[in-house]
Amino acid sequence: MLAYILNLSGWLLLPFMDGIAKFLSTEIHFVQVVWGRYFFMLLVSFPLALMFFRKEIKFPQSISVQLFRSFFLFLSTVFFFYAISIISLAEALTLAFISPIIVTILSIFFLNEKVGIHRWTAVVIGFLGVLVIIRPGFLDINFASLSALAAGITYAFYIIYTRKLSFTDSAIVTLLFTGVVGCIFISIIVPFYWTNLDTRQLLLLISLASIGMLGHFLIILSLRLGEASKLAPLGYFEISTNILVGYAFFGDLPDLWIYLGLSLIVFSGIYIFIRENKESKIK
């Protein structure tokens, strides 16, 4: 039960990070927001790692996989932060929820997994959900919507490389390595978009990174107590806080098309997780 509580708490916290990121993107460039997310995440995560996981902090065994994994998560963050700077939180997150569907497709080529008719059906249903949201031919498809989809696709690659790590590196080592790599990448880019920050903006960036760190920290703790396949569907509860934050702070409410598309995507994602869980038990 504790694993479920920790996991759900983590997912429900993360939209507050996205809300702050969306607010800050109206004042500073979204690239600078991404920088704050990574830079201050490192400042927060290292003390936590030393306090709770000191014995697990070792040099990564799978450097190449860690690099690819970290790079794809970095790309996903950049795409998603750009998307929420333009479109609503709910629309961006819903489109990014395509990641479990993409993972299913990529697993065939990268993990040599067999995908049966049930999971292919779920993939098609999820893709229909995406089409319902962007409605090509009826709405102008903007770059922000495509960026949200790109966030989901790159996040899927991140998940694939996370699976490739298996049990070679601990979760905390992977988290720290991800932060270091992302911070290096964004620190190279951010000088071209840098503007001086006032105290309020600085505090908001620290809050953004702290909330993100706490959310992921709770998720890591939950995965130490429960099975990933059973906890994975809880990630969809993120949309509830996401909609609440979007409405409370930006006056955004999803329209019926987004709700319909979201329902299809969530259904397909949960079905995929259920099928994977059943197949793992059979094996």
**Residues 224-274: tens digit of each pLDDT:** 676 655 666 677 777 778 888 888 888 887 778 778 887 887 777 777 667
What was the pLDDT predicted at 230?
A: 63
pLDDT band at 154 (very low <50, low <70, confident <90, very high): very high
Single pTM value for the model: 0.82
Rounded Cα–Cα distance for residues 62 and 168 (Å): 7
Residue 33 pLDDT greater than 90, yes or no: yes
What was the pLDDT predicted at 5?
A: 86
Residue 31 pLDDT greater than 70, yes or no: yes
Residue 113 pLDDT greater than 80, yes or no: no
Residue 155 near residue 72 (C-beta atoms within 8 A):
yes
pLDDT band at 278 (very low <50, low <70, confident <90, very high): low
Residue 114 pLDDT greater than 70, yes or no: no
Rounded Cα–Cα distance for residues 220 and 218 (Å): 5
What was the pLDDT predicted at 166?
A: 56
Mean pLDDT computed over 153-161: 85
For residue 211, give both structure tokens.
């909330």
- What backbone phi and psi angles, to 5 degrees, belong to 139? -120, 150
Give the 3-state secondary structure of residue 135: coil
Top-confidence residue, 56 or 68: 68
